[in-house]
Amino acid sequence: MRFPCSGPCLALCLAGTLALPAGAAELPRIVERDGRHALLVDGAPYLVLGGQAHNSSNYPAALPKVWAAIRDAHANTLEMPVAWEQIEPREGHFDFSWVDTLVAEARRNKVRLVLLWFGTWKNTGPAYAPAWVKLDNRRFPRMLDKDGKTSYCLSPFGEATLAADRNAFVALMAHLRRIDAGKRTVIMVQVENEVGTYGLARDHAPRARAAFEQPVPGAVLARQPPTAGRPAQGSWLEVYGDYAEQYFHTWAIASYIEEIAKAGRAVYDLPMFVNNALRDPGTPLLPATPWKGDFASGGPTWDVLGIYKAAAPHIDFAGPDIYMPESGKVGATLARFQTPDNALMVPEMGNAAGYARYVYQILGRGALGVAPFGIDYASYSNYPLGSKSTDRRMVAPFAAVYAAFAPMQRLWARWAFEGRTRGVAEGDDRAPQTLALDGWQAIVSFREFQFGERAWLKDRNDYPIGTDAPNGGVAIAQLGANEFVLVGQRARIRLSGLGANQGRMTMYARVEEGRFDAAGKWIMERNWNGDQTDYGLNLPAAPTVLKVTMGSVEQ
Ligand code: DGJ
């Protein structure tokens, strides 16, 4: 659909659309309880088993290769860009034909959508802004460094830029409301993409300089305490010292995003989030070091989530884009981004095989979901960030994990919201890991043969086929005092008693392999006993779901 519309005209168009269509069901939303979160879709917790398309697949002709990969992956959600340049190629003239095609095809493919608004910033740059924006540096200014040199990055102090981006975003949300409020195919919207600025901590143009001299807003102070030894109030420099420029730029970008998100939600109130090109997660107990050009200043990095919360209350969460393959960094990043006021959701992750095991860890932690990047058979590989393959070999490791979760996706999302789930991914050190459960603990070890103990092997360096690189993982949901659902691959799990079960003789009462059907009913396929349980529960290479009942007797 095409219609020319902007400014006051747009406001009038919207006024006529504010009532939701008759019969429209509950809008998706993110809820919090006891510091845990759920994404409610159609009124119930929803698990995003997602995939993100490549950057340039946001055109109808590219979709067949996207749907094929999404189908193969058993994904239930596609993350897809909507670029400002494509919906408003001429100022005030909107073209939503891409959005219409995408939404219609998503419905045919029975997949939900998360739309990614590539506006003022995409990976910090203005590449996806229309030519009339990115080529007009007077009206839509870029940032200046302290010597007055122009940066590549559009300034968050550009009033005309904000007005134009917001106008386009509002038009998009109004259009979504018109075409989708009754069906909710689109369940979330990411506002901008990996914002911040490389190589420059903040804008030095006159408006920005004046703002930098102003007192730090109280809302920011409440969330981002002053640097040790500095006054409780004052200008950015006075309060934050070496951190001042990064914090100020963060506040400026977050405030800009807030204006866009707030205006968009006023029209159509979908959950909204931002994503982050990570800075090193460091050591979780240590504070961040000041910015020194080592990440994009102004982005929602883990150290400034409080500033985003203060400045952008219409953004539900900031999600980490995980392209650091090291298990230690993945674990630390997940911990940094999962807080009582920040729901964990991984909107991007490398699509190399080694990342598939992290799905267990992420979903076990109770995340809203995860989406590897480049689940798309376009002939493009972003190696070394992701897989070298662009075909089924790339999708296969994720497809296997998603296939195991898919039948119980709604159950898993509910269990996660209830705090019943835990998860691990095999570490780079290949060492065993322990998961604390209620009354039990699970010791998860890797590279084990399914029969017997490692100590029995003549050659202690003898390992199962296919375990040269770490690829094991397990997620556990505790359904009752002694009842568990385990889903995982290439791992040995041993459950032992804790608390009231400690000191008692514990055993498996029943270990069923099977799956949940579409109605959430457990379908038992076989019962594990004998060799299959004598040496722990040894999950094979193919993701497997077990329903385990433990028992204990007095010694
Ligand atoms: C992160 C960005 O958000 C994506 O759009 C993409 O550019 C990847 N990096 C790299 O493929």
**Residue 373 tokens, joined:** 């990047």
Which residue's CA is minimally distant from atom 2 of ligand 1?
Answer: 123
30: which strand partners? Answer: 39
Check pocket membership of 79 for ligand 1, CB cut-off 6 A: no
Q: Are 278 and 301 in contact (CB under 8 A)?
A: yes
Residue-level pLDDT at 24: 56
* CB neighbourhood size of 311 (10 A): 23
The type of residue at 445 is: S
Check pocket membership of 450 for ligand 1, CB cut-off 6 A: no
Check pocket membership of 278 for ligand 1, CB cut-off 6 A: no
**Residue 417 tokens, joined:** 């919201």
* CB neighbourhood size of 440 (10 A): 23
Size of the chain in residues: 555
Output the CA 348–ligand 1 centroid distance in Å: 8
Residue-level pLDDT at 518: 83
Output the CA 161–ligand 1 centroid distance in Å: 23
The CA–CA distances, whole Å, from 386 to 51, 231, 353, 430 equal 13, 45, 8, 22
The type of residue at 505 is: M
Check pocket membership of 193 for ligand 1, CB cut-off 6 A: yes
User: What's the pTM?
Assistant: 0.95
Output the CA 123–ligand 1 centroid distance in Å: 7
Burial of 209 (0-12, 13-18, 19+ CB in 10 A): middle
Check pocket membership of 387 for ligand 1, CB cut-off 6 A: no
Task: Label residues 393-425 b or e (16+ Cβ within 10 Å = b).
Answer: ebbebbbbbbebbbbbbbbbbbbbbbebbbbbb
Check pocket membership of 123 for ligand 1, CB cut-off 6 A: yes
Check pocket membership of 247 for ligand 1, CB cut-off 6 A: no
Ligand 1: residue of 56, 118, 123, 383 to mutate (most ligand atoms within 8 A of CB) is 123
* CB neighbourhood size of 302 (10 A): 22
Check pocket membership of 385 for ligand 1, CB cut-off 6 A: yes
Output the CA 122–ligand 1 centroid distance in Å: 9
Helix (H) or strand (E) holding 114: strand 112-122
Check pocket membership of 194 for ligand 1, CB cut-off 6 A: yes
Instruction: List the 491-497 sheet strands across, edge first.
Output: 433-436, 440-445, 491-497, 537-539
Tens place of pLDDT per residue across the chain (555 aa): 333 344 433 433 343 334 555 545 799 999 999 999 999 999 999 999 999 999 999 999 999 999 999 999 999 999 999 999 999 999 999 999 999 999 999 999 999 999 999 999 999 999 999 999 999 999 999 999 999 999 999 999 999 999 999 999 999 999 999 999 999 999 999 999 999 999 999 999 999 999 999 999 999 999 999 999 999 999 999 999 999 999 999 999 999 999 999 999 999 999 999 999 999 998 877 889 999 999 999 999 999 999 999 999 999 999 999 999 999 999 999 999 999 999 999 999 999 999 999 999 999 999 999 999 999 999 999 999 999 999 999 999 999 999 999 999 999 999 999 999 999 999 999 999 999 999 999 999 999 999 999 999 999 899 999 999 999 999 999 999 999 999 999 999 999 999 989 989 999 999 999 999 988 899 999 999 999 999 999 999 999 999 999 999 988
* CB neighbourhood size of 256 (10 A): 27
* CB neighbourhood size of 223 (10 A): 16
Output the CA 359–ligand 1 centroid distance in Å: 19
Output the CA 252–ligand 1 centroid distance in Å: 23
The type of residue at 74 is: H
Output the CA 321–ligand 1 centroid distance in Å: 8
Check pocket membership of 376 for ligand 1, CB cut-off 6 A: no
Contacts of 22 (CB under 8 A, 6+ apart): none
Centroid of chain to Cα 9: 36
Which residue's CA is minimally distant from atom 10 of ligand 1?
Answer: 382
Residue-level pLDDT at 5: 40
